Every structure is written in C-alpha cells, then in structure tokens.
Structure 1
Amino acid sequence: MIKLIVTDLDGTLLTDNHEVPDRFWKIASRLFDKGIKLGIATGRPHFSITEKFQAIVDQLYAISDNGSLIIHEQTELLSKSLPKHEIEALVIAARSVDNAWPILCGRDQWYLENSDEVLMNAVLAYHSNFKIVDDLTKIDEEVLKMTVYDYAGSEQNSYPQFKHFENRLKVVVGGAKWLDITRTDVNKGEAVQILQSLNGISPDETLVFGDFMNDYEMMKTATYSYAMKNANPKLIEAANFVTEKDNNEAGILDVIELLCFNEC
C-alpha cells in the first residue's frame, strides 16, 4: 500500500516543454482524497514549485534545490544553505569553464552575472525570477545551491572542473546541461527520509520517480523506485523499476494509477 509519492519535475513529471500533464490534477486530487502524501523533489527553487502548483502547493511537500529546502503548509521543515566561504571558490571555478555560466540560487530569486542570450533563454524556460549582478561573489543573501548552466554538456564539460570540490561539497549532474552544487548533507534521498520519518512511512510504502543523477539517492529510499524510460542509464541501474513510457507520455501517471488506484 503506497502512502507516499515523491517525484522529480523536469524530465519526469513535466514534459520537455516544462508542462504539467493535464491528467495530473485529477490524479493528485484522488491521491489526497485517499490520504496519500505527495512530494515534489526538484533542483528548481521553491518559488518555481509554487508557480507551477499554485492550486495545491499547500497540500504538497515542496522539496526544492535538490533537498536544500523543504516546505509544507507554508512551514519550513528544513533549510540548508551553502557555506559562504565556499561560494567565491565555486564562482571562480565556474567562470573558467568554457560555454558555462554560474547561477547562485537564493530562496527568493536567482543571481546571474551574465546576460548572454543562450543563458537567458535557458533560465527563462524555467522562470523569470532572477537578477543580473556585477559580481556573484558579493551576494550576501543565503544561497541554497549553485548551479552551472553548461551549453556544452554538464557531465563532460563542467563536472570534471568541479570534482575536486567533492571532498567537501555535493557535486551532481542535474541534467544534460545543468550541474548542481550543494552541501554534502543535502540530497533528495535525505529529504524523502525526512518525510518518511515525519509520517511514519516505510520504504515499502514509498513510490519515487526520477530521471537524472540528482535523483540517485532518492532511488535508495523506496521499494517502488522508478527511473523514467528517458532516464540517465546510471539512474536506471540504481532504480528498482523503469516506466514503460517517457516523460512526454506522462509515464509516471500510468504507474501511479496502477499502484495506487488498483491496489492501494
């Protein structure tokens, strides 16, 4: 019996056009009626979750910035920001990578120091809540995550330049063109375990979905761990199951209907 569902957004629940499938809203309502907890776990900021799921955001567990922030019913359950002394080194390292741009992810907005058209188009595909500044190393606001938009491909181009940070920070490929850096004690799996503990829910009662390596730890928290058909091969290896359909075919919704409305 499934009691908790946690899903990634981009490449998982959302289509490649970053749209929520129409069927989702009715399914979410049915889940809430059955008392099943629903979480969104994404590398996106909290304000992006709020914008996408405004009608039901207070019913969701909103896990943003790869697990750096968890909010439920307007109550903050967890917040873990990057150490300030690490940010300057991260920004300087990112500036040296060709075809890549650093972004500091604050609680209320993103900070960029470049208005390159490629970067603008990439960010605007997700939201418009950002500010262009002269120097990212001078930002005083709490920073939950640094992300690097890598036009040349994050796994091959920028990730090797940040490997030396892995002894003290969490560096993960969050998408084909995104690299995410957070604290070492931050990941989506830790966030799922917090929800399980809060609600007395076991891994056998948990269903999770993801598509990229920032979902890796989450795959370890649930008996019903699903990688998307379109997922990174390494994530498919980590998951217990794979969806029959991809994110553009609303693959996770078929699984939810099968497991939660036929058997729950």
Structure 2
Amino acid sequence: MAITPAPQTPPIDPRTWPAPEDADVRLVVTDMDGTLLDADGRLPEGIWRVLDALEERGIAFVPTSGRQSVTLSRMFAPTGREMTVIAENGAVIMRGGDQLFAAPLDPESVAQAIRAVRERRDRGEDIGIVAACARTALVERSDPRFLEAARPCYNEVAVVGDLLEALGAPGAPSPVKLALFDFTDVSGPAEEVLGRFRGTHQVVFSTRNWADLTARGVGKDRAVAVLQSRLGIGAAQTAAFGDYLNDVGMLGASGLSFAMANAHPDALAAARYVAPPNTRGGVLTVLRAILGLRD
C-alpha cells in the first residue's frame, strides 16, 4: 500500500521511512466519525479481524471521540473485550467500568454557558446543549428532534427540567464537557456562547454541528499522553488517525499520524501521512499494511 505524504507538509523521502510492516507500533488511537466509521456511521467490515491481530501482537487499540464513553464501549461490545476508550474529546478515559482519567469543568463556567444557551433559545435559535459527565449526560431540551440528534453520541442521556438545578443537586455528577449543538452550522453560536471562555478553557469543533467546551489543556492529545505514560511508550510508537479539528493536537503528538484523504485541511496539515478516506475503510487499510495482513 502506498502511503502518500500530506500535501501541506514537505515530501518525505521514502528511503528514510521503513515499510509500514516494520513500524514499531504499540498504541493505535483512532477518531470515530469521519475516520474509522463509514459514511453511514458504522464500523467498517473486517474490523474484528484487525482487532484480533492487534491484540495478538500486544498493540493497544483505543477509539477516541467526542462521543460518550458508554456509547464507545457499546460500539465495541461484540469483541467481548474490556476496551479502553478516550471519550468526550479527551476529557475522560475509561477502561470497562473503571475511570482512568477525568477533567471536570468549573461550576461557574458551566452555569454561564447554560444561561447563554437559554437566552439564545428564547430568541428563537434552534440550538441545544449537553452537559456531558463521565458516565452519563444531562439535557433540558426534550423535543424528539434534538434527542434524536444527540443520542448517537450520548446513549446514556437523562432529560431534566432544569440543568442548573440538576447539576447543583447533592451527589450530582460533574460535567467534563459542554457540547453545543446547532442543526445547521454551530460555528456562529459557538463563538458567541463558548468563545467567551477561550482565555480559560478549551473550545473545539467536533463536526459542523457540534462544538465542545472542556477544561484548559484537555484534548485528545493530552489523553493520549496519559495512556502513553501508563503503557510506558512514546509518541514514536503511537499511530493516530483523524479527520477533523478536534484531532489536530493528537495527530501532531503522534509519530505515525494519518489524516483521512477527505479530512479537514487543518487535520491534513497536522498529519505526517494521508490514509484513504473513511468511505473506503482507510484506517483498516493502513493497519493491515502495518500488520502485514492481506485484505
């Protein structure tokens, strides 16, 4: 398989790069939507055989996404394995039912953002917000249209009458992320609602419709660094795959980084290599080459 250098980066002399099957990979981290998943949001055909081969060779496979940890774990439940997942755009790392890492938001910023969304909805804007916690998610917008949009990312979601009251109740979980949703384009509302926190927090765009607020320094790259430390490996032994703005840091921090051919230009610029698009099973194509597997 030919691996094409990203067009925004200087060409890499193929003589300085070993054949993919010679790469010393110990950790594979891959984004989901637009990367591992196909155009219909499904896991690609052949994924289970590749996961078996990775496990046989002692290579950790970790899906990473803006999705909820429960959602990610359920997607890989057919493997029967206890999966490690990086969820909520790096704000949570879970292995089975064990929480390995979480970075909660401060309550005052959460309250300000929720009030700002309420004000815009009162003016007629078709937006909603999800308070994502380590194991569940809370929403106060209860119409079926919004819930249908949220549930693919948040399998465990509870509708509450008042988000601020629910989050302030004794024993309530702490949000690790606020996810803002717009049915058309979230960029404008996100700048107004979440942009005010840029000086103290992290704001990233997961898709055209979703924008996330997390604590400062939180991201997929930091979560990958936590796993690298736990596994005793470095960036050079990490293969990362992504396609969008929330993947840029992770791609830049991984020695073997692949942006999908149909990725956002910033992701292509951050990656060292370009994989075939997700619509053609690009992640599995590259992993088969690294593992020396036949299609």
**TM-score of the alignment, normalized to the shorter chain, above 0.5:** yes
Q: Which residue of 2 aligns with 1:254?
A: 285
User: Matched residues in 2 for 1:261 and 1:154: separation?
Assistant: 41
Q: Equivalent pairs: percent with the same residue? A: 26
Among residues 161, 173, 188, which one is paired with 1:134 in the alignment?
161
User: Matched residues in 2 for 1:148 and 1:155: separation?
Assistant: 10
The code of the aligned residue for 2:151 comes to L
Q: Which residue of 2 aligns with 1:185?
A: 217
TM-score by length of 1: 0.92
CA distance 1:163–1:259, shift in 2 (3 Å): same
SS at match of 2:94: strand
TM-score by length of 2: 0.83
Among residues 36, 41, 58, which one is paired with 1:18 in the alignment?
41
Residues 185 and 208, structure 2, Cα contact 8 Å, conserved in 1? yes
Structure 2 residue 104 is matched with structure 1 residue 102: no
Residue 123 (structure 1) shift: 1.6
Alignment of 1:21-40 (within 5 A): 21-40=44-63
Residues 73 and 96, structure 2, Cα contact 8 Å, conserved in 1? no
User: Matched residues in 2 for 1:49 and 1:13: separation?
Assistant: 12
Residue 127 (structure 1) shift: 4.8
Q: For structure 1, which runs of at least 5 residues remain unmatched after alignment?
A: none
Q: For structure 2, which runs of at least 5 residues remain unmatched after alignment?
A: 1-23, 168-172
Residues 2 and 260, structure 1, Cα contact 8 Å, conserved in 2? no
Structure 1 segments of 4+ aligned residues over 6 angstroms from their partners: none
User: Matched residues in 2 for 1:109 and 1:159: separation?
Assistant: 26
Residue 150 (structure 1) shift: 1.1
Residue 57 (structure 1) shift: 6.8
Residues 58 and 74, structure 1, Cα contact 8 Å, conserved in 2? no
CA distance 1:162–1:133, shift in 2 (3 Å): same
How many residue pairs match? The answer is 261
Larger of the two Rg values belongs to structure: 2
Higher relative contact order (Cα pairs below 8 Å, separated by 6+ residues): 2
Residue 118 (structure 1) shift: 3.2
Residue 88 (structure 1) shift: 0.7
Among residues 129, 133, 142, which one is paired with 1:115 in the alignment?
142
CA distance 1:213–1:96, shift in 2 (3 Å): farther
CA distance 1:8–1:160, shift in 2 (3 Å): same
> Cα RMSD (Å) of the superposition?
1.8
* Deviation readout 1:132-162 (Å, 9 max, x if unpaired): 2222122232212110111121234423542
Residue 116 (structure 1) shift: 3.2
Moved more, 55-64 or 197-206: 55-64
Residues 70 and 155, structure 2, Cα contact 8 Å, conserved in 1? no
User: Matched residues in 2 for 1:190 and 1:8: separation?
Assistant: 14
Structure 2 residue 201 is matched with structure 1 residue 174: no
* Deviation readout 1:204-239 (Å, 9 max, x if unpaired): 211001111111110122121111122111111111
Structure 2 residue 268 is matched with structure 1 residue 236: yes
Residue 28 (structure 1) shift: 0.4
